[in-house]
């Protein structure tokens, strides 16, 4: 999992640089950067959503994901965890949950993350993930300067996600195709749009409660492929 470890290191370095910038920049500039990240997040979300090949599967995933996430009150639990961290450390701000969720979705829902992890698991090298690491490193500078330390904490779910795909690929081969990647990206894109609108303070969508949608889209996509074949 060399590529994923390098990816984690790049995000940490970029995040630390971003936090340093945030400390030294005037509040009005940080606010502009914050708004820029919000707009960028919405635009990336829309571009990811447009990749879907099976809209009905994405819709069902959002519905079922929302039901499960809302029942489990994932957003409330994350907010509680964020509040506890905030009390223990001055580094953790109000945007902690937005930072970790936005960074995770941006870093992990794209085709580069999935294909790179699969390639590494199949023994084809880490070139894709190393390329992704450079991109994520620079992205984390802007994200951390706007959303804070939560961006750095996103390395935990990123490591589990990418590392898990690499391990699965090493044992199961190429278990995921382009259609599934596009549907997963589209579902993640919807969540990113919600996060972007929240960052811009247009809405207060409980995006974290929709996270189970990412699991449901994989289940529905595999069922769909099984049925048509």
- The single-letter DSSP state of residue 90 is T
Lowest mean pLDDT among 52-56, 81-85, 86-90, 184-188: 86-90
User: Mind listing the pLDDT tens digit for each residue in 31-48?
Assistant: 887 788 889 889 988 988
User: Mind listing the pLDDT tens digit for each residue in 143-190?
Assistant: 888 888 889 989 999 999 999 888 888 876 556 677 888 898 899 899
Model pLDDT, residue 29:
79
Tokens 């969508």 belong to which residue?
Answer: 205
Q: Where are the alpha helices (DSSP H) in 50-154?
A: 55-72, 74-88, 96-108, 111-121, 127-147, 150-153
Q: What is the mean pLDDT of residues 83-96?
A: 62
Model pLDDT, residue 197:
92
Q: Domain locations in the chain?
A: 2-224
pTM, 2 dp = 0.79
């Amino acid at each position: 999992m060399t590529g994923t470890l390098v990816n984690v290191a790049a995000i940490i370095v970029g995040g630390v640089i971003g936090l340093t910038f945030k400390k030294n920049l005037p509040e009005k500039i940080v606010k502009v950067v914050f708004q820029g990240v919000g707009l960028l997040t919405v635009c990336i979300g829309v571009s990811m959503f447009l990749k879907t090949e099976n809209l009905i599967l994405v819709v069902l995933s959002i519905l079922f994901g929302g039901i499960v996430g809302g029942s489990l009150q994932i957003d409330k639990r994350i907010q509680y965890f964020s509040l506890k961290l905030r009390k223990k450390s001055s580094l953790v701000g109000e945007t902690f949950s937005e930072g970790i969720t936005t960074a995770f979705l941006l870093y992990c829902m794209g085709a580069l993350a999935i294909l790179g992890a699969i390639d590494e698991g199949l023994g084809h090298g880490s070139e894709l993930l190393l390329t992704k690491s450079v991109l994520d490193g620079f992205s984390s500078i802007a994200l951390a300067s706007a959303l804070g330390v939560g961006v750095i904490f996103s390395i935990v779910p990123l490591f589990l996600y990418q590392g898990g795909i690499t391990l699965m690929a090493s044992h199961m081969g190429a278990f995921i195709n382009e259609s599934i990647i596009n549907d997963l990206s589209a579902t993640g894109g919807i969540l990113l749009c919600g996060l972007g609108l929240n960052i811009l303070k247009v809405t207060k969508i409980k995006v974290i409660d929709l996270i189970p949608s990412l699991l449901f889209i994989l289940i529905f996509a595999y069922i769909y492929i099984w049925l048509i074949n």
